[in-house]
Amino acid sequence: MNNNDLADCVRRTLNRYFRDLEDEKPHDIHAMVIANVERAMLEIVLEKAAGNQTVAAEMLGINRNTLRRKLSEYTLL
């Protein structure tokens, strides 16, 4: 898988989102996409790190405290 595969997946999903809106006005799309993608990414990386937050933080390229804050935000602790 390359970066284009992920981008294509996001494009398809957003196109479907807009198609399904019908007459509703879109709202806060950036926050919606970031929250959904980030939560899924955290779940998968934490699983691949066998629950080890230090390893997961290293895989993500973020500080362990940042990871813990994000896990708390998404109620993944």
Query: Would you kindly state where each structural domain of the chain is located, as residue ranges?
Result: 3-73
For 54-71, the pLDDT digits (tens) are: 999 999 999 999 999 999
Q: What is the pLDDT of residues 6-44, one digit of tens each?
A: 999 999 999 999 999 988 999 999 999 999 999 999 999
* pLDDT at residue 49 tops 80: yes
Please give the angle made by the CA atoms of 55, 32 and 74, to the nearest 5 degrees: 40
Cβ atoms of 42 and 71 within 8 Å: the answer is yes
CATH number at 3-73 = 1.10.10.60
The whole-model pTM stands at 0.82
